[in-house]
Amino acid sequence: MRFLRILTLICSVAVIITATLLPFNPIVSEQIPPAWCLRCGGLWLTDAVSNVLLFVPFGAALALRGTRVWVAILLGLFGSFTIEWLQSKGIPSARSAALADVLTNTLGTALGALLAAYASWLRNPGARAARWLTASWTVAVSAVAALTAMAMGPRMVMVPHAQVGTTLSTYPHVPGQAWYGGVNESATIDDRSTFRKGWAGPIIVQLDAEPDTLHVMSVVRGREAEPFAVPIVFLHLPADSSPVLQVRVNKDAAELDVTRRAWDWGMAFPGVRVANAFAGRTLDDSRALTLHAQSTRYRLELSATEGERREQAVVLLTPAVGWAMLQNLVDVQSSWAPVVLVAWLGVLIVPIGWWAYGSRHGAPSGPASDTFLRRETWIPYAAVVLLVWVSLAVMGMTAQPTTLEWVLVLVWSKIGHIAASHWSETGSTASPR
């Protein structure tokens, strides 16, 4: 056991060093935020959550080795400040030092240490405490679902798309982005307005207001030579250089990005990508490639058509997609996305099932088979979460949860029950350290 605790501590330190002091995913020099900033870059909340989670295992490993919580917090503060100081000196290059990182890393250490120190009590809190934990955690998960739906919503009140005017933008190019090198023939907005170009560069269109639905058809030839994302069609509001919607080429892929409230809150927003839309095309390819992009409150859809070949990708905007906005490693179309979705819902729902069992029975005893078929153990204690999701969907903020998400919520709630009956140690309330 002692060896495992030491190994856990070593692994957590190794992960931190790899993520912070190795030249991994460097920032473009023009995008490096000011030194020791408190709100750094557009994805400031995403970065904050990532930094907290990065240091949670470190704090937990220290507490499991017997380190006092306040000592672990000080070690997290010192280690984080050292990392940021090295980054401020150019180690590694093209990374930024931020006061926000020091604060969030220290918070992650504190959270990990507290979770480890109070693990016994959280596992067997007693019936009365379990009732409070069940209620508070259910409220917290409901809040996560509600905030996720709000983040996926529009940045302002949307109007019917038929009432939105479109004009050619006064911007000569997309601010801060490269110039499209292929032939950009035309872009049609909602089958009403067509803008023709017939040469290189993006088509930039200004909208009078943010519509409830947007459908964009773009016809291009050739492709972009540079190996990074370049906009083809860019729609924006007056006096706002951020995109309401943009279609772009990124290596072989065509991508649809939509700016929603999540961006204003410092989070990423799940886009949609057709991976091989430009695959096999040369720089001067004369074949027409037609891109159809559609954005609604409930889904993002992008298709690429070239002759008889057609590829399509769809992303449903449900409250369960919240994990994709709080991290920038796995997107909703990744092959790892189902695994992350299952894990995300597990983290949210298992504690509800665990503490709900304890709130009825205290610390359970006996094998799980004694309770598996009892009706009360199948009462979905996550019902509040589901009701919030449904009410939000009725209000038109997001799509309804998919069948898979409904099933996962119920299954994880039951798994929490079974886990509680197997692993609770005593029937008495454990005292925290």
Least confident of 128-132, 230-234, 292-296: 128-132
Beta strand segments in 121-237, E: 166-168, 183-189, 193-199, 203-207, 214-221, 230-236
3-state secondary structure 21-52: HCCCCCCCHHHCCCCCECCCCCCHHHHHHHHH
**pLDDT per position as a tens digit, 196-234:** 999 999 999 999 998 989 999 999 999 999 888 999 999
For residue 366, name the pLDDT band (cuts at 50, 70, 90).
very low
CA–CA dist 236, 166 (Å, integer): 10
For residue 360, name the pLDDT band (cuts at 50, 70, 90).
low
Percent of the chain past pLDDT 90, that is, above it, reads 43
Mutual angle of helices 44-64 and 69-88, in 10-degree steps: 130
Q: Measured over all CA atoms, what is the biggest interatomic distance in the chain, rounded to whole angstroms? A: 76
Quote the pLDDT of residue 63: 93
Q: Considering the entire predicted model, what is its pTM?
A: 0.83
pLDDT above 60: residue 143: yes
Quote the pLDDT of residue 381: 57
Mean pLDDT of the chain, nearest integer: 85
Q: Which long-range contacts (CB under 8 A, 24 or more apart) does 167-174 make?
A: 167/205, 167/206, 168/195, 168/204, 168/205, 168/206, 169/204, 169/205, 169/206, 169/234, 169/236, 170/206, 171/204, 171/236, 171/241, 173/201, 173/202, 173/204, 174/202, 174/204, 174/231, 174/234, 174/246
Query: Which tokens belong to 17?
Result: 């060093």
For residue 383, name the pLDDT band (cuts at 50, 70, 90).
low
- What is the pLDDT averaged over residues 312-336? 90
* Number of helices (H), then strands (E), in the chain: 11, 12
- What is the pLDDT averaged over residues 307-313? 95
CA distances from 333 to 268, 313, 409 (A): 14, 9, 21
Quote the pLDDT of residue 25: 56
CA–CA dist 21, 153 (Å, integer): 36
Quote the pLDDT of residue 363: 45
Tell me which of 432 and 39 has the higher pLDDT.
39
Quote the pLDDT of residue 24: 61
Question: Which residue has tokens 């949860």?
Answer: 401
pLDDT above 70: residue 297: yes
Quote the pLDDT of residue 138: 84
Going across the sheet that includes 203-207, the strands are 166-168, 203-207, 230-236, 243-250, 253-258, 272-274
Domain definitions of the chain by residue range: 1-117, 126-153+316-433, 161-296
**pLDDT per position as a tens digit, 26-49:** 555 555 667 778 777 778 898 899
Give the best-scoring range by mean pLDDT among 285-289, 396-400, 412-416: 285-289
Quote the pLDDT of residue 369: 41
pLDDT above 90: residue 112: yes
